[in-house]
Amino acid sequence: MARKYFGTDGIRGATNAGAMTASMAMKVGMAAGAYFQRGDHKHRVLIGKDTRLSGYMLESALVAGFTSVGMDVIMVGPLPTPAIAMLTQSMRADIGVMISASHNPFADNGIKLFGPDGYKLSDEAELTIEQLIESDVPLAPSAQIGRARRIDDAQGRYIHFAKATFPENLRLDGLRVVIDCANGAAYKVAPSALWELGADVVAIGVTPNGTNINDGVGSTAPQTLSETVVAAGADIGIALDGDADRLIIVDEQGKVVDGDQLMATIAAGWARAGRLAGGGLVATVMSNLGLERHLSAQGLGLVRTAVGDRYVLEKMRSSGYNVGGEQSGHIILSDYGTTGDGLVAALQVLAELKRAGAPASEVLHRFEPLPQLLKNVRFAGGEPLEHEAVKATIAAAEAELSGTGRLVIRPSGTEPVIRVMAEGDDARQVETLVDRICDAVRQAAA
């Protein structure tokens, strides 16, 4: 059965519309609270958020929902998504909630749920919670309504945790680091952690006002970071997204380094230290073929999954890998956490930079990416990928790319769009094949 509200990363949408209203948030709290009340102990939920204006509204509604079914609530305010996952586990909460729409603009928001182990919920758990949302969840008796409180030391707990992932024998002294927090959840903790480890910190994207999250800053808009790195004469730039589970790096020349290059850097360092599990790493079908060839040349493997960090993590857990992620910058290091953590991944990259004693431009650009092109085709309805002419066009393109490239065609999980991606040694060929498939999809959908 398909899920109605949950997507690949929780419930997300425009606020005060659809599923992202206060009334829906209260229902989510009631349903999730009912689902996780198991055993005879007093149950608790931990709630964090990013800096969006709508976070106040959704937080209050969630608190009402959870307390109405008898759960105690701990609110920690703006903190990164990985901090919520970590604190849920370390504080023995039954459930963790992050209110965030990640890299989306401020008008959107979302609700991400974590189980008591700090991992995102399974599809089955989310489906059960959806069924509870649409049912009459029993309310707690008056004397058993939950209590809500805020705690003040959550930021310090996460900073301590993040710093503990950095090698004990290294310091960041002598490095000038620009950190772009996207006016989001990490605007306090990320600069503090870097400064306490010895870096000379230049912080941007650290003045949230409720509406400027991801607005011209952060991992999806690295131009400001690039300009700041060059102007400040910095050694490296770090860009996080709105909830700080995504990372993009800029070298000292202002050139962007994506998630594929960062995973290659971390994997190489961990392999050298004998701590890379699984003999390689896990990435999605969107990671560049250049990464796969680079790893193969080092005797390391690459396992691909569907798009989405949850699928990467599932494969890591089932097959024993400890490094995985996405080209977009979601990097999961399971030795340290249960979800992507932009700050922790950045610290591993900085450790490699310190060990190498060379500029970021030399250390982080591990391979030459193959020409890669992605185009989206919007359609009104039906299943254009099932059309025989489309199938034939795709088969012909795959045959033409055989041995020299890859083709990835997939429908979007959130909108009526077909995503067509090709990569190969010949950029002109890649563009021709993508256009040919897009034309076939448009004709089939007409």
pLDDT tens string 93-126: 999 999 999 999 999 999 999 999 999 998 899 9
- In terms of domains, do 271 and 317 share one? yes
- In terms of domains, do 228 and 105 share one? no
Q: What is the mean pLDDT of residues 210-238?
A: 97
pLDDT band at 7 (very low <50, low <70, confident <90, very high): confident
pLDDT at 1: 61
pLDDT at 416: 87
Q: Is the pTM of this model over 0.75?
A: yes
pLDDT tens digit string along 372-419?
999 999 988 788 999 999 999 999 999 999 889 999 999 886 678 999
Last residue of a domain, one of 345, 363, 381: 363
Residue 184 near residue 218 (C-beta atoms within 8 A): yes
pLDDT at residue 297 is higher than 90 = yes
Q: What is the mean pLDDT of residues 44-72?
A: 98
HEC letters along 89-150: HHCCCCEEEEECCCCCCCCEEEEEEECCCCCECCHHHHHHHHHHHCCCCCCCCHHHCCCEEE
- In terms of domains, do 300 and 439 share one? no
Domain assignment present for residue 115? The answer is: yes
List, in sequence order, the alpha helices (H) in 220-258.
Answer: 223-232
Phi then psi for residue 326, to 5 deg, are -125, 155
- In terms of domains, do 194 and 125 share one? no
First to last CA, the chain: 29
Phi then psi for residue 192, to 5 deg, are -65, -45
pLDDT at 39: 76
Domain assignment present for residue 1? The answer is: no
Domain assignment present for residue 183? The answer is: yes
pLDDT band at 308 (very low <50, low <70, confident <90, very high): confident
215 is in an annotated binding site: no
- In terms of domains, do 187 and 336 share one? yes
Alpha-carbon distance of 378 to 289, in angstroms, equals 26
- In terms of domains, do 210 and 79 share one? no
- In terms of domains, do 171 and 243 share one? yes
Tokens 């448009």 belong to 442
Last residue of a domain, one of 137, 152, 167: 152
Question: Is 102 tagged catalytic?
Answer: yes
**Residues above pLDDT 70, as percent of the chain:** 99
pLDDT band at 41 (very low <50, low <70, confident <90, very high): confident
| From 54, 68, 100, 102, the catalytic residue | 102
- Structural domain tally of the chain? 3
Alpha-carbon distance of 330 to 259, in angstroms, equals 7
Domain assignment present for residue 3? The answer is: no
Q: What is the mean pLDDT of residues 72-100?
A: 98
Domain that holds residue 424: 372-445
Question: Which helix H or strand E contains 409, and what residues bound it?
Answer: strand 405-411
- In terms of domains, do 147 and 164 share one? no
CA dist list (Å): 86 to 24, 118, 162, 275: 26, 6, 10, 22
- In terms of domains, do 39 and 52 share one? yes
241 is in an annotated binding site: yes
Residue type, 90: S
Q: For the domain that residue 174 is a member of, what is the CATH number?
A: 3.40.120.10
pLDDT at residue 87 is higher than 70 = yes
Alpha-carbon distance of 339 to 309, in angstroms, equals 8
pLDDT at residue 434 is higher than 90 = yes
- In terms of domains, do 161 and 142 share one? no
Alpha-carbon distance of 241 to 179, in angstroms, equals 11
Domain assignment present for residue 89? The answer is: yes
pLDDT at 414: 67
pLDDT band at 8 (very low <50, low <70, confident <90, very high): confident
Last residue of a domain, one of 333, 363, 393: 363
Domain assignment present for residue 6? The answer is: no
pLDDT at residue 439 is higher than 80 = yes
Residue 309: burial class (beta carbons within 10 Å; 0-12, 13-18, 19+): buried
